[in-house]
Amino acid sequence: MKLYHLYGLAVASDFDCPELTELTPEQVAARGLATVELRRATEPLTLDDGHTLAPWLCVTRDACLCEFTDIAQFLIERPDRITVRMLPEGVESDMRAYLFGTGFGVLMHMRGLVPLHVSAIKTPEGVVAFTGDSGAGKSTKVAELHFKHGWPVICDDVAVLHPDDPLPILHAGMNRIKLWNDAVERFGVDPGRLTRDIMRFDKFHLNDPEMFVKEPQVLETLIEIADHGTPQSQPVGADAFTLLMNAVYRPEFAAIFADRGNIFKTISRCAVHINAKSEKGA
């Protein structure tokens, strides 16, 4: 099995994961990383005594079975295992798009961590994260800042807060950014480096480890993106808390598997720290 880094964890995987950075056992031990298993199955996956919530979703208190049509089944088990069965027509790159989003998003909630739907970049003034609805322009804004200024990317789409961290530290790990076709053309990205997003015909994935910061980073500024990429004000206090709560990734799974009091405390602690510079300068 190969070892990878993702969301502040080590992933021991039966699958190749080119979007992630490989680790050695020595690095895992030196960093004190908890390890989760990503296993391959060949037989159909089932969940005994599961409650069916949707045609593609069955859950128990400690497990979740998802099936994505023509791609794969995921059996996610608290606290440290995801088993994947590829379906006959499935492509592994498509499977990983769901795995690193929904699959690991569910597991993060099961483990008591707090995944956030954000894209973030490291600027000379500190780390800035953008949040907003899907399609609002978070990825495009981060890509624009990277290609214009050379600033390294922290994450695109998802980063995770660990409740035991004393500061709001973003744990990411995917070396991938999503770009619309117009952004690909505007930034001059070689189309040969791209793979098409399974969800959208005119959106692509760019895997490039050189674009990304390797270590967790303290979040200092949070900005909401709205109206096709227009940055809004930098909230503080209660407004920052609300924006962070709205940014919790896959909240429907948080309602099933997470300790919502733990999410509340983690977000409350983070809200005190973010945008503090802008508040002092006001």
| CATH 3.40.50 segments of the chain | 116-281
Q: What is the pLDDT at residue 182?
A: 87
Residues 113-170: tens digit of each pLDDT: 999 999 999 999 999 999 988 777 888 999 999 999 999 999 998 999 999 999 999 9
3-state secondary structure the chain: CEEEEECCEEEEECCCCCCEEEECHHHHHHHCCCEEEEEEECCCCCCCCCEEEECCEEECCCEEEEEECCCEEEEEECCCEEEEEECCCCCHHHHHHHHHHHHHHHHHHHCCCEEECCEEEEECCEEEEEECCCCCCHHHHHHHHHHHHCCCEEECCCEEECCCCCCCEEECCECEEEEEHHHHHHHCCCHHHEEECCCCCCEEEEECHHHECCCCEEEEEEEEEECCCEECCCCCHHHHHHHHHHCECCHHHHHHHCCHHHHHHHHHHHHHHCCHHHHHHC
Question: Percentage of residues in the chain with pLDDT exceeding 70?
Answer: 94
Residues 67-109: tens digit of each pLDDT: 998 999 999 999 999 999 999 999 999 999 899 999 999 999 9
CB 216 within 8 A of CB 171: yes
pLDDT tops 50 at residue 282:
no
User: Helix 237-246 crosses helix 260-273 at what angle (to 10 degrees)?
Assistant: 130
Which fold does the domain 116-281 belong to in CATH?
Answer: Rossmann fold (3.40.50)
pLDDT tops 80 at residue 209:
yes
pLDDT tops 80 at residue 228:
no
200: confidence class by pLDDT, cuts 50, 70, 90:
low
* Residue 261, phi then psi, degrees to nearest 5: -65, -40
Q: What is the pLDDT at residue 229?
A: 54
* Calpha distance 150→23 (Å, rounded): 26
